[in-house]
Amino acid sequence: MFPRLSFLVAVLAASPGLGQDAKSSTPKPPDDPNPVLEMTLSPAREPVPALRYRLIPRTSDLNPGNAAPLYLRIRHEMTDPAPLKEIDARSADLDKPLAEFPKDDVRKLVDSFSARLKQIEFGANRQTCDWAFSLPEQRSDVINILLPDVQEMRRWARLLSLKARLEVVEGKYEEAVKTLQTGIAFGRHVSENPFVIGSLVGVAISSVMLQRTEELIQQPGAPNLYWALSALPHPLIEMRSALEQEERFAEDMVPELMQVDRTLSPGEWTVRLSKMHANMKRLCSMVVPVPESIAAFDKRDLATFRKETLPTARKYLSERMGVTTAGLGSMNEDEIVARYVAGHFREVRDNSFKATHLPYREAEKVQLKWEADIASLKEGPLAPIIEIMPMLGQVRRVGLRQERKIAALRVIEALRTFAASHQGALPKTLDEITEVPVPIDPATEKPFQYQSDGKTATLFSPLIDNAPKTGVNYKITIRP
């Protein structure tokens, strides 16, 4: 697989609920796809003033300048890799119960990185983050732009997550909120590059910070973060720019796909088709491991490709592009095949990406139909291009899962607000909450499912596309 796409697969596989345990050779019993998270909460009124706490800096408070050099410089200033390995070794502490969190050891680690953590905070408060990829100069070879710096940012996110968890355990809630603010802003900065991978890593980073937020609000005396969560941008990680860049990657690497809309001589059409075929073969040579569809395409020389494609090309131009019999008669075989491949590519490209412009509930059926259709296209003349298209269904699910998490946390904070005004009691229905607006589930566009006997409650919403651990399933109890 292409270096960039192999990283994309790794990011998706590492996302909670989207991957399997690749390290284990023995079958494991399936986990509960929608496990219950039990939460014990303390009543908490809205803070005064309401926006006292923020999980992202105000735009008006940001400092001028580019954050990327600050983030990149941290690693290059370190000549000894041992401290970095310590961060990686401590990652397991993020999954331990808070009661087992080794706060003394983590405090030593955090303190040893205090100067570098300060640089990340400085960066998170910058107005821009331009990673300056060589995309303009390397469009025809864009698939080979490597992203080691993006992977390095995940390490700093782990360090920030350890710091936030430490502050929660130590009861330093104000400091924890500040660290969460830095971490979420940092995740948004990581997402600001022209690749979907950057967006996904940005989601992963900010999702880790939301996990720490979830832990914070369960602590006795924790501040109510309803308005801090409500003030987050929606969506938290914007993927549109990256998706629109991905949309044009195939035409950048095979520019002849966009060069069939003017009149050419028969000889020029022969050259145009030859270059188109050669660039598609070049894509085949870069795919590791080689799927059957690529292997089959790679075996076809130009003459074989032309001969096998010509009947389908004639039919497509007639039925899909409205070319008359006389029009087909005026074209040589190279023009017919070139116009067909280019026209079919544009149709496939748009069918692949059009659902990304719809809300989830509208996009679901469109995307599922496309995913069913695309399998047959891997055997056709667009096989190399089909193989490099991003897995948009999974990409959409990752972003939606994060938006659902934010909405669910807002509901939980609304419950704490209600309990503070009703002697610690929970509402029988969400409609009873009048202190703050109660958000709906962005995945279903309906209210979250809620049941309560006044002392305990459940907050539930089903899985997204039946993907494990993408649902909401809280059991909530209020402390006396």
Query: What is the per-residue pLDDT across 104-124, written as a single tens digit (0 to 9) for each?
Result: 999 999 999 999 999 999 999
pTM over 0.75, yes/no = yes
The rounded distance, in Å, linking the Cα atoms of 429 and 74 is 50
SS (H, E, C) 297-315: HHCCCHHHHHHHHHHHHHH
Name the residue type at position 38.
E
**Distance separating alpha carbons of residues 471 and 448, to the nearest angstrom:** 11
**Sequence-ordered alpha helix ranges (H) in 264-391:** 266-285, 292-298, 302-319, 325-329, 333-353, 360-377, 383-388
Q: Position 259: which residue type?
A: Q
- The two three-digit tokens of residue 32, written as one number: 């509960």
Q: Which strands, in side-by-side order, build the sheet including 472-478?
A: 37-41, 472-478, 456-461, 449-452
User: Which residues of the chain register pLDDT less than 70?
Assistant: 1-30
pLDDT number for residue 214: 98
The token duo for 130 is: 């331009």
Q: What is the pLDDT of residues 438-447, one digit of tens each?
A: 999 999 999 9
**Buried (b) or exposed (e) across 27-57, using 16+ Cβ within 10 A?**
eeeeeeebeeeebebbbbebeeeeeebbbbb
Q: How far apart are CA 402 and CA 470, in angstroms?
A: 9
pLDDT for the residue numbered 141: 84
Q: What confidence score (pLDDT) does residue 11 get?
A: 52
pLDDT of 458 reads 97
Give residue 18's pLDDT: 29
Q: Are 381 and 275 in contact (CB under 8 A)?
A: no
Q: Which residue has the tokens 């496309």?
A: 370
